[in-house]
Structure 1
Amino acid sequence: MSGTCTILAVGDLVLDEPDPASYFAPSTEVLRAADLAIGHIEVPHSTSTVQASTDVPAPPADPAALDAVADAGFAIVTLAGNHLYDVGTDGVLDTIRHSRAAGLKTAGGGANLAAAREPAVHETGMLRIGVLSFNCVGPRDSWAASQKAGAAYVKVLTHYELESATPGGPPTVYTFVAPDSLAQMKFDIRALRAEVDIVVVALHKGIGHTPAVLADYESPLAQAAVDAGADMVIGHHAHIMRGIEMYRGKPIFHGLGNFVTVTHALTPVGGDSAERRAWAARRQQMFGFVPDPAMPAYPFHPESRNTAIASCTFGPQGMVRAGFVPCWIDDDARPVPLTPDDPRGAEVVDYIENITRAAGFDTDFQRGGDLVTVAEPDAQQRTP
């Protein structure tokens, strides 16, 4: 479509296996056709082995793997996530340096908080696109500070309320964004809005490995981003797809799940760290699934193989259309874009529509061609 630009975005990228380019092979043609493709780098890319995080640490990946990200068609990578600081300052700075050496612009990470809050800006044709990235899940170790490397962040608070006369019983959980942190995010979005034509906000958020469920804070936070000037909000972190919300005509992809996420780090073998061994055991208790033993490099929820590439097309007057390309993660852990004549495509679309409804969103899904478009429902079709 002449005079427009198309932005594609995917969820988490973990490139901790040999030959990372092979995992992108089925999707490269689609990604390279975009005016801008955005992905999220989940783990540090560094040769450092220092464990700095007190959370479940991820081992650093080979810095050379970032070349495969650029070669696949990505131009911007977001970094604000819970693993960015897992190997400390060196890991943060190495990831930024190697990303940029590969030709990738970065957002969400830096040598200090001011640098981490800087947007990545990409120019295409007549339009300037700005991308901001925020970590909403912690741990605090990962947050940048005035003199500390790390991630830009939004502070989310959790409150546990015992609703029955049963001490020790299951509580109701409430989550909400700290007001000062919300104000800071909105300030950054408004400042970027004044400098570019299109604003994309990436939020590392959500409850991991759990189908469909959104925490209380997620939709209000994403809506606040739109209110402040975001044209497109993309989520990741949960390692499983989330529903799609339309708010004020803008798409909120609450979670884009996994894309290329390959690692043996969560498949315990001799020599693992105590923390990773403990996490592998606790994960089954918390989330109720066991990874497919036939896919040792893909230790994730079986439903996470349903995934998508978010797509938004913009013109001089704003958004033209929003939607997604359904994808299936095959037995080799490669995300494969699905054509309309592939029966798995309909199954993935059904899955995404079902989790959207389960989250309480009445987003309209229009199927046709390689792209499934999403829109706000027609007012006449809304149920009271």
Structure 2
Amino acid sequence: MASNNIAPPSGPGLSLFAVGDVFVDRDEPATAFASARDVLRAGDVVFGNCEGVFSDDIQRAPSAGSAVTAPAANAAPLAQAGFDILSLANNHSLDGGHAALLSMRGTLADLGIATVGAGAHLAEATAPVYLERNGRRLAFLAFSSVFPYGYEARPGVPGLAPLRAHTRYTPVDLNVWNPGMAPVVSTEPLVEDQRAFLHSLAEARAKSDIVVASFHWGDSTVPYSLTDHERRTARLAIDHGADVVLGHHHHMLRGVEFHAGKPIFYGLGHYVFDLPNLTERLAKDGYLGVGRPEEMAAWARKFGEYMIRPREGYPLLPFHPDSRMTGAAVVHITPSGRIRAGFLPAIINPANEPIHVAADSDEGRRVVAYLERCCAAEQLPTRLIAPRPDSGLPSACIEFVSTATD
């Protein structure tokens, strides 16, 4: 395996490093980022999605599927790894109940980590969060489109920042009877959620130099795919002032494209996401139909080879082997505001640690090829190249460039 000795970004400006899902639930929490710490600390600002609850006050939410929780002390490695800000807008952030969510925010704040996308009430959950770096002011927004009923914040009720959509199922051929055939799926945003998002985005744009919008979204049951909700929302964000869009939830990487010259990372996969004791966890929670053969068979048909299940040799990562390809998005912003987007590949080892590799190494080329397939499968007009000399990206990166003609 290649070394983690990845040179930092070069040139003046500011570099944002962003990863997908992070959650530490292992016997020795301090080992979680031992291999990635130096890489992450090369970024001026480091972002991730906190996919669970760190708290000593867990009251399991009634609508939680398989709850993802760990003691508050397990959050410490995130600070040691250099995370500056974490999204709490995801389908596990309320697994431990309202008090646990709020105590986790306090725990992370005490560690010097800002949080965004959840709060004591709707206004707090949807509010931008600001960071100052290198003479620039960055605004972060985080919203979730995937979560159990009741996790959304409301006036006077803690929760996450919601960005929901109605789903429509339409027959493929309206002129043919074909019972049971898979339909065409389309979505329409909830007006109240979209209005709240655009209000917060307008505030962020007015009060900052750089706006980063983060979304928990998409279909995690298949590789590569993007929903119309993801595409529409990403473009909406940029059209109304976002400079960078970061997506997560899929547990596998997704493609990248540019809109109006701004990068959209549709899915950053997971980075360090511990999910131990899966068999016992599912049996206890009755999740994925465990204990009910007909339901288990239906879930197996739906997910196929991508079903969450124990994977030999990877006790903390019960996901398809494709999920072991990961990395960090790198966005370099020059003093003049020019944006360059790249990716530092990594491979997750059996200890569930991301080992960063150069994009031109054997392991790096495997990740790059996967990203190329992600882009090709969804016809994203993006090419992956070695970093250009003026990109400001680390030399170990791959750089994304738009091939769109508009």
Tell me the TM-score range normalised by the shorter chain: over 0.9
Query: In the aligned structure 2, how far is the partner of 1:143 from the partner of 1:18?
Result: 32
Q: Which moved more, 1:151-160 or 1:364-373?
A: 364-373
Counterpart mapping for 1:243-322 below 5 A: 243-268=255-280, 272-275=284-287, 278=290, 281=296, 283-289=299-305, 290-322=309-341
Alpha-carbon shift at residue 285 of structure 1 (Å) = 3.3
Which residue in 1 is equivalent to 2:7?
none
Tell whether the 8 Å contact from 1:268 to 1:277 is kept in structure 2 after alignment. no
Query: In the aligned structure 2, how far is the partner of 1:270 from the partner of 1:353?
Result: 34
Aligned with residue 81 of structure 1, among 58, 79, 90: 90
Which residue in 2 is equivalent to 1:93?
102
The CA deviation string for residues 230-271 of structure 1, in whole angstroms up to 9 with x for no partner, is 111000111111111111111100000010011225333697
Tell whether the 8 Å contact from 1:233 to 1:251 is kept in structure 2 after alignment. yes
Which residue in 2 is equivalent to 1:333?
352
Q: Which moved more, 1:127-136 or 1:111-120?
A: 111-120
Query: In the aligned structure 2, how far is the partner of 1:148 from the partner of 1:104?
Result: 23
Query: In the aligned structure 2, how far is the partner of 1:109 from the partner of 1:313?
Result: 27
Which residue in 1 is equivalent to 2:50?
41
Q: Secondary structure of the equivalent of 1:288?
A: helix
Query: In the aligned structure 2, how far is the partner of 1:110 from the partner of 1:3?
Result: 35
Q: Secondary structure of the equivalent of 1:140?
A: coil
Aligned with residue 173 of structure 1, among 178, 185, 188: 185
Alpha-carbon shift at residue 340 of structure 1 (Å) = 4.2
Q: Which aligned segments of 4 or more residues in structure 1 are displaced greater than 4 angstroms?
A: 279-283
Which residue in 1 is equivalent to 2:4?
none
Q: Secondary structure of the equivalent of 1:318?
A: coil
Compared CA separation, residues 325 and 120, structure 1 to 2 (3 A): same
Aligned with residue 31 of structure 1, among 40, 43, 49: 40
Which residue in 1 is equivalent to 2:400?
374
Tell whether the 8 Å contact from 1:76 to 1:106 is kept in structure 2 after alignment. yes
2:237 is the alignment partner of 1:225:
yes
Q: Which amino acid aligns with 1:333?
A: N
Tell whether the 8 Å contact from 1:129 to 1:199 is kept in structure 2 after alignment. yes
Alpha-carbon shift at residue 341 of structure 1 (Å) = 5.2
Calculate the TM-score normalised by the size of structure 1.
Answer: 0.93
Counterpart mapping for 1:198-237 below 5 A: 198-237=210-249
Identity of aligned residues (%): 33
Aligned with residue 189 of structure 1, among 186, 189, 201: 201
Alpha-carbon shift at residue 75 of structure 1 (Å) = 0.6
Q: Which amino acid aligns with 1:247?
A: H
| Greater relative contact order (CA < 8 Å, ≥ 6 in sequence) | 2
Q: Which amino acid aligns with 1:129?
A: L
Which residue in 2 is equivalent to 1:360?
379
The CA deviation string for residues 150-207 of structure 1, in whole angstroms up to 9 with x for no partner, is 1011011111123441334432221232233223212211110111111100000011
Q: Secondary structure of the equivalent of 1:321?
A: strand
Which residue in 1 is equivalent to 2:166?
157
2:60 is the alignment partner of 1:60:
no
Tell whether the 8 Å contact from 1:6 to 1:34 is kept in structure 2 after alignment. yes
After superposition, the CA RMSD in angstroms is 2.1
Q: Which moved more, 1:126-135 or 1:18-27?
A: 18-27
Compared CA separation, residues 73 and 270, structure 1 to 2 (3 A): closer
Query: In the aligned structure 1, how far is the partner of 2:278 from the partner of 2:301?
Result: 14
Which residue in 2 is equivalent to 1:128?
137
Tell whether the 8 Å contact from 1:249 to 1:375 is kept in structure 2 after alignment. no
Tell whether the 8 Å contact from 1:21 to 1:69 is kept in structure 2 after alignment. no
Compared CA separation, residues 100 and 161, structure 1 to 2 (3 A): same
Query: In the aligned structure 1, how far is the partner of 2:326 from the partner of 2:124?
Result: 31
Query: In the aligned structure 1, how far is the partner of 2:124 from the partner of 2:312?
Result: 41
Q: Which amino acid aligns with 2:233?
A: L
Q: Which amino acid aligns with 1:292?
A: R
Query: In the aligned structure 2, how far is the partner of 1:270 from the partner of 1:189?
Result: 38
Query: In the aligned structure 2, how far is the partner of 1:227 from the partner of 1:241?
Result: 24
Query: In the aligned structure 2, how far is the partner of 1:166 from the partner of 1:341?
Result: 49
Query: In the aligned structure 2, how far is the partner of 1:302 from the partner of 1:254?
Result: 20
Compared CA separation, residues 176 and 319, structure 1 to 2 (3 A): farther
The CA deviation string for residues 280-299 of structure 1, in whole angstroms up to 9 with x for no partner, is 94654321125422212111
Which residue in 2 is equivalent to 1:12?
21
Query: In the aligned structure 2, how far is the partner of 1:170 from the partner of 1:55?
Result: 28
Q: Secondary structure of the equivalent of 1:331?
A: coil
